[in-house]
């Protein structure tokens, strides 16, 4: 059984007819009642009426093929019954498309040239052999820009939105790593940490608990989302688990390593090959919580997740049309320096490992200053900016820098540095040149076996792994993966530096 396939009505004509009838009926009801639109919580419990300015009356789900914003002007070729025509999506590469459709890369053709390694322009027609496994098409749940922390998400004011509601979340507080945080701060921090759209988290909170709009009388403070997972008590930790599941599905699909999902009842289902990464992320999240046969109704049905999302935040395709495709086919990699000063001795302590937590791509590297200081002390050494940009986050050991070009324009690239101590850390809004100080390496901000700085990349909200498509070079040193996570090497000409957690001599590097 293929997931992400047809909802209830198949065929373009019937789909459009149904959409028109729904919209007409909605307009008649609104005009007749002359009241703000009211939605239904999972088909049973009405929401309180909110300010109509934050509502959107949900429309029918758009097929993925109609959603794709092309970066090329396609010249469609006809296909025969033994073939499938597929329009490339943002972030597609040839090997991953082949993996999704279960064919060999050399079996894929196109009216335009196909890059063997690089990004395929969104909207470019690809022609593939038809098989029994790849014949079912998927339907969009949410576009990628509504799942990751894209420009659409970055423009959203989480605190302002929650302040205009009257649900329990507005008044909720909890301790997050010994700091008292409001509900808005909990959501914003979980979203920022994992680079996930906060609106998606708010819609999921509403779907699971009603906390966004309903003033719950006896809330479950241990498991607000009802995940009931040991070690994940409280809203912040539950949201952290939700984002991990979302990212596991999103990047598993993006990288071509995920082809099927196992649901809460133990049954597995193949994924429709033309799904987008955002929709697979949501399917993966729901699969951790629900049986296979229930997911379609919970996602698409009356009072389901997608309906709740649109009622709260409007149609995500409106913003997606302005910012997608997230990856242009001619994307340029930024020139980066090692994150410390020239002439200093540092140790390359970890090769490619998850950008954030498991579920994110293998794109992070770790470096530790060689100063002879005590393990996990706040080092006197400085971590330094690898490229010019502006600081957009400086909190909880994290510094996020939005990179700028030579004219001061944002490029879409971001660098994230972790484990920088509170002491002397650079402030939000600071404009940096390459080599400017960021803060002192430490063990602050999460599990760490020693003082170091963790550096990784994002592009328009997506975590970036180290790959042929997105190689990582720092001061000319090319990062290569090893035989396992945290292993690897840096190569520059004939010089090789090998990652070692203990900082032994093969790991020493001087910029």
Note down pLDDT in tens along the chain; length 511 residues.
455 543 333 344 444 444 444 444 444 333 333 333 222 222 222 222 333 232 222 233 445 555 556 666 556 888 999 999 999 999 999 999 999 999 999 999 999 999 989 999 999 999 999 998 888 788 889 999 999 999 999 989 999 999 999 999 999 999 998 889 999 999 999 999 999 999 999 999 999 999 999 988 789 999 999 999 999 999 999 999 999 999 999 999 999 999 999 999 999 999 999 999 999 999 999 999 999 999 999 999 999 999 999 999 999 999 999 999 999 988 999 999 999 999 999 999 999 999 999 999 999 999 999 999 999 999 999 999 999 999 999 999 999 999 999 999 999 999 999 999 999 999 999 999 999 999 999 999 878 889 999 999 999 999 999 999 999 999 999 999 999 999 999 999 999 999 999 999 999 999 9
Return the residue matching tokens 């109704």. 297
> Element (H or E) spanning 363, and its range?
strand 362-369
**Residue 263 is encoded by which pair of tokens?**
């649901």
What pLDDT does residue 71 have? 65
pTM: 0.86
Residue 334 sits at φ, ψ, to 5 deg, of -75, 150
HEC letters along 438-465: EECEECCCCCCCCCEEEEEEEECCEEEC
Answer for the pair 379, 509: CB distance below 8 angstroms, yes or no. Answer: no
What pLDDT does residue 184 have? 97
**Residue 12 is encoded by which pair of tokens?**
């373009």
- Domains in the chain with CATH codes: 2-60+140-323 (no CATH), 64-72+79-129 (3.10.350), 345-510 (2.70.70.10)
Locate all alpha helices (DSSP H) within 195-313, ordered by sequence.
198-209, 234-254, 277-287, 295-300, 305-313
- Cα–Cα distance between 499 and 502 in angstroms, integer? 9
Residue 285's nearest CA partner among 101, 163, 141 is 141
Return the residue matching tokens 């498509």. 469
What pLDDT does residue 367 have? 98
What pLDDT does residue 155 have? 87
238 sits in the region (left: phi over 0; alpha: psi -120 to 50; else beta) called: alpha
> Element (H or E) spanning 128, and its range?
strand 125-129
């Amino acid at each position: 059984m293929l997931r992400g396939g047809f909802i209830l009505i198949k065929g373009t004509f019937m789909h459009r007819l149904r959409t028109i009838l729904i919209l007409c009926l909605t307009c008649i009801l609104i005009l007749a009642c002359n009241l703000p639109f009211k939605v239904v919580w999972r088909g049973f419990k009405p929401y309180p009426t909110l300010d109509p300015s934050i509502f959107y009356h949900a429309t029918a789900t758009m097929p993925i093929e109609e959603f794709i914003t092309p970066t090329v002007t396609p010249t469609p070729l006809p296909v025969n019954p033994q073939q499938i025509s597929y329009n490339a999506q943002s972030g597609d590469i040839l090997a991953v498309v082949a993996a999704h459709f279960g064919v060999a890369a050399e079996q894929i053709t196109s009216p335009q040239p196909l890059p063997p390694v690089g990004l395929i322009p969104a909207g470019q027609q690809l022609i593939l052999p038809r098989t029994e496994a790849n014949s079912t098409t998927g339907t969009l749940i949410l576009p990628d820009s509504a799942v990751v922390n894209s420009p659409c998400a970055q423009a959203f004011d989480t605190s302002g939105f929650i302040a205009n509601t009257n649900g329990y979340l507005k008044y909720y507080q909890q301790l997050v790593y010994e700091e008292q945080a409001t509900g808005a701060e909990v959501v914003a921090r979980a979203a920022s940490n994992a680079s996930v759209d906060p609106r998606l988290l708010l819609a999921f909170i509403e779907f699971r608990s009603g906390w966004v709009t309903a003033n719950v009388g006896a809330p479950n403070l241990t498991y607000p989302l009802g995940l009931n997972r040991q070690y994940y008590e409280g809203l912040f930790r539950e949201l952290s688990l939700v984002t991990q599941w979302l990212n596991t599905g999103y990047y598993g699909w993006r990288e071509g390593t995920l082809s099927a999902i196992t649901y809460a009842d133990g049954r597995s289902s193949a994924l429709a090959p033309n799904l987008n990464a955002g929709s697979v992320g949501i399917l993966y999240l729901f699969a951790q919580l629900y049986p296979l046969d229930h997911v379609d109704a919970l996602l698409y049905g009356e009072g389901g997740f997608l309906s709740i999302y649109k009622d709260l935040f409007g149609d995500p395709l409106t913003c997606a049309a302005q910012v997608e495709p997230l990856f242009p086919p001619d994307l340029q990699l930024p020139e980066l320096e090692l994150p410390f000063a020239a002439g200093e001795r540092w140790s390359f302590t970890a090769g490619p490992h998850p950008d954030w937590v498991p579920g994110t791509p293998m794109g992070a590297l770790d470096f530790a200053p060689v100063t002879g200081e005590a393990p996990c002390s706040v080092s006197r050494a400085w971590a330094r900016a690898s490229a010019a940009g502006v600081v957009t986050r400086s909190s909880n050991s994290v510094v996020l820098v939005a990179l700028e070009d030579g004219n001061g324009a944002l490029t879409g690239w971001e660098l994230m540095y972790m484990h920088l101590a509170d002491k002397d850390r650079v402030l939000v809004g600071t404009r940096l040149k390459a080599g400017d100080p960021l803060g002192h390496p430490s063990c602050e901000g999460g599990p760490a076996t020693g003082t170091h700085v963790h550096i990784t990349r994002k592009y328009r909200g997506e975590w970036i792994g180290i790959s042929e498509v997105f190689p990582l070079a720092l001061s000319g040193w090319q990062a290569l993966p090893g035989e396992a996570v945290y292993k690897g090497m840096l190569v520059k000409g004939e010089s090789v530096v090998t990652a070692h957690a203990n900082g032994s001599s093969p790991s020493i590097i001087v910029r």
